[in-house]
Amino acid sequence: MTTSLLQLSDLHIREPGRLAYGRINTAPYLARAVASVLALPQQPDAVVITGDLTDFGRAAEYAHLRELLAPLTMPVYLMPGNHDERAQLRLSFPDHTYLGSDGGDGSDGFVQYSVAIGGLQLIALDTVVPGASEGSLCEQRLAWLARELEAHRGRPVVIAMHHPPFETLIGHMDDIGLLSGAAELEALVSRYPNVERILCGHLHRAIQVRFGGTVAATVPSPAHQVRLDLAPDAASAWMLEPPGFGLHVLPRGGRLVSHTVASGSYEGPFPFHEGSVLID
C-alpha cells in the first residue's frame, strides 16, 4: 500500500473580498490550489495544512476558509500558525474533533494530535505563542511529542509544525522563527530513526535542512512567497512567485519521497515519444 500526504501551508485567508497586506486576494489562489489537488492523477490519502490558515484568526475568515476547502474529498487536518487563533479555529471547525478542547483537559489549549494515515503516523505539534509572531516548544509540548514518538516507534512518522526548527538564512523570518525548543526537539527526534520528515510552514518557500537524523522542510504558499534575500539586513518582503504545495509519498516498505508541486493550470501533459519513436 502506498500512502500519500499532501501539505498546504500559509493560506492567509481573509474575509470575502478583503486583501491580505492591503494588496493580495489570497482566496482565488487557494481555490486554484484545491483544483490542482483534485486534478492530480492519484488523489492523496489526506491533506495537512501547516498553519497560517487565516490572516487574523477571525470567525468570518475561518468561514471563508471552510467554503474554499469544501471541494476536497479526502480528510483535511488543520493546524494553527502565528496568524491563527486556536479558540476560534475550534469554534469554526467543531466537526474536526482531533483539534481537541480549549484547555479544560489540562492541555493548555495546544492544538496537538496524532492520527494514522495509511502507513504513516501524522503527529501535529503546536508551536504557537499567542499574540506573537515567533514560535516556541515548551517542556509540556515536547513531553507530549516524546510520548507519541515512543508509542509509534515501529511505524513511519511525519511530524508537522508551523515554525521550522532551523535557521533559513532569511533573517527577518529567522527573527520570528522557532526561538526556543529547537535544540531539545532535535535531540528528541534523533532518537527515533522512524521519523521520516518534519513538515513545516511559515516560510512561504521550499527549503530543506538535515535535522535530527531526518529532513526538516518547508513548502511554498498557494499564494504569495517570502522574497529570497539572504543578506543579513534584508527587508521583510513578499513576492508573487509561482505558488505550490508539497506531496509526500510513502511506498510500502520504502522511504518517504517528497515532491514540490506547482499550483495552477499549465499546458500538457505531452508525450516524449510517439509510439516507440522519439519525437524529433
Q: What is the CA radius of gyration of the chain?
A: 19
Q: What is the mean pLDDT of residues 98-112?
A: 73
Residue pair 143/188 in contact (Cβ under 8 Å)? The answer is no
Give residue 273's pLDDT band: very low, low, confident or very high (50, 70, 90). confident
Is-contact 64 13, C-beta < 8 A?
Answer: yes
| Region class of 255: left (phi > 0), else alpha (psi between -120 and 50), else beta | beta
C-alpha–C-alpha distance, residues 186 and 213, integer Å = 8
The whole-number pLDDT of residue 108 equals: 62
Q: Which residues contact 123 (CB under 8 A, 6 or more apart)?
A: 113, 114, 145, 148, 149, 152, 157, 158, 159, 160
For residue 105, the model assigns a pLDDT of: 45
- Give the DSSP letter string of 60-100: HHHHHHHHHHTT--S-EEEE--TT--HHHHHHH-TT-GGG-
What residues form DSSP beta bridges with 278? 273
CA angle at 25 for the pair 22 and 26, rounded to the nearest 5°: 120
Distance CA 266, CA 201 (A): 25
pLDDT attached to residue 109: 86
> What is the DSSP code (8-state) at residue 13?
B
- Is the per-residue pLDDT at 9 higher than 70? yes
Q: Is 253 left (phi over 0), alpha (psi -120 to 50) or beta?
A: left
Residue 276, pLDDT above cutoff 80: no
Q: pLDDT value at position 271?
A: 86
pLDDT at 236 over 90: yes
What is the arithmetic mean of pLDDT over 197-224? 98
* Percent of the chain's residues with pLDDT above 90: 90
Taken in order 67, 72, 76, 81, is the CA torsion positive or negative? negative
Q: What average pLDDT is seen over the chain?
A: 95
Residue with cell string 496568524: 83
Tens digits of residue pLDDT in 212-233? 999 999 999 999 999 999 998 8
267 or 272, which is more confident: 267
Q: Are 195 and 188 in contact (CB under 8 A)?
A: no
Long-range contacts of 96-101 (CB under 8 A, 24+ apart): none
pLDDT for res 278 = 63
Please report how many Cα atoms fall inside a 13 Å half-sphere around the Cα of residue 233, on the Cβ side.
Answer: 0
Report the pLDDT value the prediction gives residue 279, as an integer from 0 to 100.
Answer: 60
Nearest-10 crossing angle of helices 139-151, 182-189 = 10
